[in-house]
Each structure stands twice: as C-alpha cells, then as structure tokens.
Structure 1
Amino acid sequence: MGTLKPYLISEDARSQAEFYIQSLGGEVVSVLTHEEATGVQNELKDKVMHMCIAVAGENNIFMADAVEPPTQGSGISLSIAYNTEAEAREAFEKLAAGGNVKFPFEFQPFGIFYGELTDKFGVSWMLTSEPQAGQS
C-alpha cells in the first residue's frame, strides 16, 4: 500500500507554509534548500527544494519553491475532516482570509458540515466535520 502525500509547488513555499501552519495548526518538519541539497551557488541556492509541514494533526504536506512559474487551478482540492464543527469552522475562516469562498461552511442536507474555498495562494480546500449529538 502507498501513502498519498500532497506536494505543492509555490512561488514562496516558506510564506505559504507559515500561512497553513497559522490557519490549521502545525509545524515545519523539515526544510532543504537547493544549496543544502546540491551545493548550487546560483539564484536557486536559497530556494526551497523540499519542505515538509505537518498540519491539522499529523497530516503532512510537502512543498517546494517553483523553478518556473507555477500554474494555479489544477482541479485538485485538499480535504480535511475535523472531529468538531468548531475546529473545522476556525480553520475554514483562517484559510478563507484573502481567498475566495465557493461554499460557506454550513450544515448540508447530506448530513455533515461542509465548506469549500480557494485560499490566497490558489489552492482549493474542502473542510468537513460530522455533527455532534443533537446538532444539525
């Protein structure tokens, strides 16, 4: 069996990672620059070649600075299912800052809380939570 690990190519991986850590909770697990990895001494030397961040618990997202301009809107969304509505709502509101809300975070007819947005970096997110007992 394999493990799915989202990998985001960014114009500024360090800033984007910090935004996700502030929005979702978490930490930088590791960062490797082009200089550290290959010893290059050119304009790429300080750019992130590989970064791992842990967000919303133990969910890893890998990131790198783009060597060429990245293309946004790839048709992929990252989805996080939270244990409580409050956790999901807080993360949703933070991720939405400077972005575009497609579907507000609300209780849905299909029985869960759901919201969808594109963050200020052009990444699509779907956040969900199950209702608690007596909630709907």
Structure 2
Amino acid sequence: MAQINPYINFKGNCEEAFNFYKSVFGGEFAFIGRYKDMPPSENGHAHEIDGEKIMHISLPISKETLLMGSDVGGEWAEYTIDGNNIQISINVDSENEATQIFNGLSAGGRINMALEKTFWGSFFGMLTDKFGINWMVSYDYNQQK
C-alpha cells in the first residue's frame, strides 16, 4: 500500500520551521540529515549549500503521516518560491510499483531527478506532472514488511 506525505522545501530555515512544527504537533524527529553528511560523489548542487543545512528531516504527525522537508540551495534555489515549495511524496512497496507510478505521473510532464538507487537506501525520483504538481516517488529498500 502506498503512503503519501507532504514534503516542504525551504531556503535555509528548514530547521527553524521544523522546530516550530514539532512544538505544534509534538513528537520527536524520525530523521535529521545534513548536507555535510552526504557522500562527496553525490549531486554537485549539494556542495553549494551550507553543510549544516537540512538535507532531509521527518516528523511523524500520526501513525500514517510524516511531515518531511529540506533546505534547497545552489541551482535548485532559483526555482523555489513560496507556493511551489511543497511536493507530494509517495512511498510504495516495491521498485516495480515505483517505476510504474513514476512513469505514469511523468507522462507529459518533466523529470527533475531520474528514478534511481540512492545512497540513503531508496529507489527515488522527482518529477513535475503535466499539471504542474511536484512529486517525489520512493521505494525504501530497508522498509519493514
């Protein structure tokens, strides 16, 4: 079964925003990763971002929902404006399902990051569909069944 979560991009104040959301919703962060933690061979744009900035953060809102986010910078920052900084993240149960959904959603749209294996253990890609909606598709190889 697929899980859909909101994913918010920030221009440098992700940590501040998520500490605020944590004060509202409660709970603890499930994950906090910083750009300095990325392997040096990954996408070059990450090296243009302050290493202390948030690469990925997640805050459980309920058993079924995570609020997720990151700071953007480098070449991606110019495309991030208030209003288009929210993406829909869909997490699926198999690589095959990820491919099927990614290909379906990207038809007539734009692929922003090809669907591929990542250093964090996911089969992941990003796209903008033909209606201008931003999507992230992910299959986590380490998920528990």
TM range, smaller chain: 0.3 to 0.5
Query: Which is bigger in relative contact order (C-alpha 8 A, separation at least 6)?
Result: 2
Larger Rg: 1
State the TM-score, normalized to the length of structure 2: 0.44
